[in-house]
Amino acid sequence: MAKRIPLAWLNLIHDRRRFATSLAGVGFAVLLMFMFNGFMNALYDSQLQLLNRFNGEVIIVNRLRTNMFVPRAFARRRLYQARAFDGVQNAYAVYISEVNWKNPDTRKSRVVRVIAINPDEPVLNIPELDTHRQALRLPETALMDTQSRAEVGPIEAGVITELADRHIRLVGTFTMGTDFASGNGNLLMSDQNFLRYFADRGPEEVERSFATVDVGVLKLEPGANVERIVKTLQENLPNDVLVLARDGENGFVIRERKYWQENTNIGFVFSLLTSMGFFVGIILVYQILYTDVADHWAEYATLKAMGYKNIYLLGVVMQEAVILSVLGFIPGVLVSQLLYQAAGNATGLFFQMTAARVINLLLATFVMCLVSGAIAVRKVQTTDPADVF
């Protein structure tokens, strides 16, 4: 029960108001890091929401489709060819196109992305498809993404408006989320309906038919060797298509993420902003620790006169730094969680607070406080006990 007096802790909490302000300061720096880091990850993660729904182990796209934004289709017969290979159970077609959607309230047109599949095939892992399969088979029906931007207007079942200047009726919703290529939202419909809207859209628009496919999804037989099949298909299918595993280091999903990482300034800008949060934190915590040392200068010098070594006082300052980092992190992470939800709802982006990201930022906060502590201890070190007399 007899322990060392927790001087660092007692000094910190002595002035309750100052302690609360200090924690709020650290929490604010944590919040800044979480928000900037969160936006960066959300922008990347959002690009993958559709890709992660593809119900197959292997993906085929046009070789020129370097990312989902590029509207390049490939010949549908490649899917039939692929299906003939050993280990391939089925090959599904996904049709994607952008088109104007008329907000039924404002009558203003907004671009949405239409994703079309055969409703009788398990092409996408979207649970809402099961409930609405029957309705989707009817002509001129679709499901709207609940994460679509507010600009598309009401989206509940029964809404009737125009898509590509033709009549359309919503029969329900599904939840996925927007990305750079999705415009104001995602609309899900059957391939038959897709043909109705896109087969003949006038002279300026590309004509769509079942002859070309945007994304091919290959379902493999259970236990099939994904890597080997991908390799075989790559070698045997004509060069106009690209065959990739969906998951894994060289997979389709990672490729998409890498594309956005390497071809945009998102990473640079948001990393810069995140590190600004980091440095704001260092300055804040340094200020807090420095003030503590300066205010207790005579007391610390007295401890030195009594025979306390420098290392003890360094320990006190570093303990204060650690306490501030841990206790400031908690409000920071809690408020960030709320803001992630709010930002996700406002933007339709996919804000995800994974354990790894929380731990990373906790470590960053920890380092932030240690750096501040390391700068502030110099003040203690130079404290000369002879000066207290």
Partner 1 sequence: MFKPQQTSQQFAPAREDLAVHIQHLNYFFGAGDLSKQVLFDISLELPKGQIVILTGPSGSGKTTLLTLAGALRSLKDGSLRVLGKELVGLSDRALVGVRRNIGFIFQAHNLFESLTASQNVEMAVELTGNFSSKRDQAGAMLSALGLADRVDYKPQSLSGGQKQRVAIARALVNHPKLILADEPTAALDKKSGRDVVNYLHALSREEGCTVLMVTHDNRILDVADRIINLVDGRLESDSSPNAFIQSKQGDPTDVSADMFIM
Beta carbon of residue 384, minimum distance to partner 1 (angstroms, whole number): 8
Tokens in use for 289? 């620790």
Choose between 3 and 17: whose C-beta lies nearer to partner 1: 3
Beta carbon of residue 322, minimum distance to partner 1 (angstroms, whole number): 18
Question: What does the alpha-carbon distance between residue 10 and residue 314 come to, in Å, rounded to a whole number?
Answer: 16
Beta carbon of residue 174, minimum distance to partner 1 (angstroms, whole number): 58
Choose between 68 and 324: whose C-beta lies nearer to partner 1: 324
Beta carbon of residue 388, minimum distance to partner 1 (angstroms, whole number): 6
Three-state DSSP string of the chain: CCCCCCHHHHHHHHCHHHHHHHHHHHHHHHHHHHHHHHHHHHHHHHHCCCHHHECCCEEEEECCCCCCCCCCCEECHHHHHHHCCCCEEEEEEEEEEEEEEECCCCCCEEEEEEEEECCCCCCECCHHHHHHHHHHHCCCEEEEECCCCHHHCCCCCCCEEEECCEEEEEEEEECCCCCCCCECCEEEEEHHHHHHHHCCCCCCCCCCCCCEECEEEEEECCCCCHHHHHHHHHHHCCCCEEEEECCCCCCHHHHHHHHHHHHCCHHHHHHHHHHHHHHHHHHHHHHHHHHHHHHCHHHHHHHHHHCCCHHHHHHHHHHHHHHHHHHHHHHHHHHHHHHHHHHHHHHCCCCCCCHHHHHHHHHHHHHHHHHHHHHHHHHHHCCCHHHHC
Beta carbon of residue 21, minimum distance to partner 1 (angstroms, whole number): 16
Beta carbon of residue 292, minimum distance to partner 1 (angstroms, whole number): 10
Choose between 335 and 388: whose C-beta lies nearer to partner 1: 388
Choose between 214 and 292: whose C-beta lies nearer to partner 1: 292
Beta carbon of residue 277, minimum distance to partner 1 (angstroms, whole number): 30
On whether the CB atoms of residues 247 and 253 are closer than 8 A, the answer is yes
Choose between 13 and 75: whose C-beta lies nearer to partner 1: 13
Residues that bind partner 1 (CB under 8 A): 2-5, 7, 10-11, 13-14, 296, 298-299, 301-309, 384-386, 388-389
Choose between 215 and 316: whose C-beta lies nearer to partner 1: 316
Going 188 to 116 to 126 to 52, the CA torsion angle's sign is: negative
Choose between 14 and 72: whose C-beta lies nearer to partner 1: 14
Choose between 246 and 296: whose C-beta lies nearer to partner 1: 296
Question: What does the alpha-carbon distance between residue 169 and residue 161 come to, in Å, rounded to a whole number?
Answer: 7
Beta carbon of residue 358, minimum distance to partner 1 (angstroms, whole number): 32
Beta carbon of residue 311, minimum distance to partner 1 (angstroms, whole number): 11
Choose between 5 and 84: whose C-beta lies nearer to partner 1: 5
